[in-house]
Structure 1
Amino acid sequence: MIEITSKANPLIKQTKKLLQKKYRQSSYLIEGWHLFEEAVRAKAEILRVFVVADQISQLIDYEGQLILVSPEILKDLSTSPTPQGIVAEIALPNMMPPSQFKGKYLVLEDVQDPGNLGTMIRTADASGFDAVFISEKSADIYNAKTLRSMQGSHFHLPIYRGNVLTYLNQMQSSGVTCLATTLSKKSVDYRSLSDLSNFALVFGNEGQGISQEMATQADLLVHINMPGQAESLNVAVAAGILMFSFI
């Protein structure tokens, strides 16, 4: 075990940079015991663990690299105002998208709020979806707010970032039905659908919804009937309703 006592230590300075997206080229940081335990259970590649002295007893069986730091240093590596005593550096996963598709997929086109993104991924995990595909313009899943919202769900199911229209084309070639959510007059009430097995459920940007290209490519446009006076639902709430309706 290594002990570091100064914020000026090169490793601390290097690690702190991972709080910024532009430096997350090969690894990212997680905070708190829950996410750390999820990483261990998922056998994620944990590069190093920073922990304060009064929490070290919880790591008695951990065999990876431990770095003992002061509460002040740990707070420097955290975005939380009240850190839980542990920060871990995790290697970014290197996953190739599948060549064949069969199952239930969540596709997110330009969802930009980290809280919404994390909640939708967590809901996909809870409702038994097989993978999540997010566009390049969607929020970063390794943003601290996204990580808190996901609560470790990114360890449970694969998440792919890229051109979602290309992904959907590949899914459709494998017989997956693309359902895109929109308030268009051409959309149908989701409650009219049944016997769904292989499908991709698409949600768009919080303000703009799905793109015209997405609406054109989709096999079916769907909406949630709203008997009240609100114009729309929060995208994460809408995603929760539909994902659990289609399982």
Structure 2
Amino acid sequence: MSRSPSEPITITSRRNPTIIKICGLRDKKNREAERLFRFDGIKLYCEAVFSGLELVYVLLCNPNSGSVISRIKSCGAPDPNETGATVISLPARLFESVSEEKSPEGIISVAKYIDKFHKIATIDNNSDAGLSRLEGKIIMLKDIQDPGNLGTMLRSAAALGFERVILAGACADIYNPKTLRAAMGATFRLGTLALRGSGGAEVIRTLQASGRRVFAATPAEGAINLCDLELRASDCFIIGNEGHGLDAGLVRICDASVKIPMSPGSESMNAASAAAIFMWEISNSK
């Protein structure tokens, strides 16, 4: 439901406190301090509104704001002036310096953290961080450090009907602008559970104790071919770091190691591509 239109504010200086704050959201420490994140483009603005995100600021490039608003409305989304956000009009040169896109579309949005979907927890002797109560299809990512890869994995998980993505170890930030761009709106509706201080072993054991089978995605010698494995919808794959994969200690406590059959001479594939294949197989299991 749209709100009464509000008049946009015009800002012309890069030194304006609001502009400084929005530019600062490029850094994770500032995002966490403000509990805000930013993203560029018409597509992500529309996805954010359709997903019910609470927008705080919307920056529009002047004099192109009229065409931007027309494109937004053609997608069925409301005029930014009707969202309740503070709408700020920037001259083209200032807008381009604030945008993180090489060819900006003329809109930058700032939203509040999506705490209802994205949880942060710690596994200890008193809590399993809710892992034993997770329902539906899940996948675990360990030390996925490239924001583009993480965003692509989130996009695939959302498309294939996964309810939750578990993030263990040193994964990229889900609110990194590159993650958001690659996820193409999946971050706005897909649940994640980031486990701080977890090396992964506790996660695997907790999932196994809850009745799930946990498989290490690895091309290591002795791994089972994916096509030879009869999967269940409750099974969980672990995707490791883009460079070194999964630690041997984690692989040993998994129920089995599983690999994707590849042509001779091919040693591995991109982590995001491999994750999509594993998730596809899970989505087609019973």
**1:134-173 pair list within 5 angstroms:** 134-162=167-195, 163=198, 164-173=200-209
In the aligned structure 2, how far is the partner of 1:76 from the partner of 1:169? 48
Kept in 2: contact 1:52–1:74 (CA 8 A): yes
Kept in 1: contact 2:59–2:87 (CA 8 A): yes
- The residue number in structure 2 matching 1:101 is 134
In the aligned structure 2, how far is the partner of 1:175 from the partner of 1:39? 35
| Alignment coverage as a number of residue pairs | 247
Asked if 1:55 is matched to 2:91, the reply is no
**1:1-247 pair list within 5 angstroms:** 1-25=8-32, 26-53=35-62, 54-56=64-66, 57-58=69-70, 59=79, 61-94=82-115, 95-96=118-119, 98=130, 100-162=133-195, 163=198, 164-247=200-283
Worse overlay, 83-92 or 47-56: 47-56
Kept in 1: contact 2:42–2:105 (CA 8 A): yes
In the aligned structure 2, how far is the partner of 1:45 from the partner of 1:10? 21
Worse overlay, 64-73 or 15-24: 64-73
Kept in 1: contact 2:143–2:169 (CA 8 A): yes
Amino acid at match of 1:51: L
| 1:81-121 Cα shifts (integer Å, max 9, x gaps) | 11111111111122446450222112111111222111111
Q: TM-score, normalised by structure 1?
A: 0.92
In the aligned structure 1, how far is the partner of 2:84 from the partner of 2:30? 27
* Cα root mean square deviation, aligned: 1.8
Kept in 1: contact 2:231–2:281 (CA 8 A): no
Kept in 2: contact 1:52–1:86 (CA 8 A): yes
Amino acid at match of 1:88: S
Kept in 2: contact 1:102–1:174 (CA 8 A): no
In the aligned structure 2, how far is the partner of 1:217 from the partner of 1:76? 49
**Residues 242, 213 of structure 1: alpha-carbon distance in 2 compared, 3 angstrom cutoff:** same
Kept in 2: contact 1:181–1:222 (CA 8 A): yes
Compute the displacement of 1:195 (Å): 4.4
Compute the displacement of 1:233 (Å): 1.1
Structure 1 alignment gaps of length 5 or more: none
Q: TM-score, normalised by structure 2?
A: 0.80
- The residue number in structure 1 matching 2:4 is none
Amino acid at match of 2:135: K
In the aligned structure 2, how far is the partner of 1:87 from the partner of 1:136? 31
In the aligned structure 2, how far is the partner of 1:101 from the partner of 1:190? 24
In the aligned structure 2, how far is the partner of 1:201 from the partner of 1:70? 48
Kept in 1: contact 2:235–2:282 (CA 8 A): no
In the aligned structure 1, how far is the partner of 2:153 from the partner of 2:215? 16
Compute the displacement of 1:43 (Å): 0.6
Q: What is the SS of the residue equivalent to 2:25? A: helix
In the aligned structure 1, how far is the partner of 2:94 from the partner of 2:207? 46
In the aligned structure 1, how far is the partner of 2:208 from the partner of 2:42? 40
Give the percent of matched residue pairs that are identical in Structure 1 and Structure 2. Answer: 31
| 1:40-90 Cα shifts (integer Å, max 9, x gaps) | 111112111111232254425433221111222222222111111111111
Structure 2 alignment gaps of length 5 or more: 1-7, 71-78, 120-128
Amino acid at match of 2:253: Q
In the aligned structure 2, how far is the partner of 1:72 from the partner of 1:174? 55
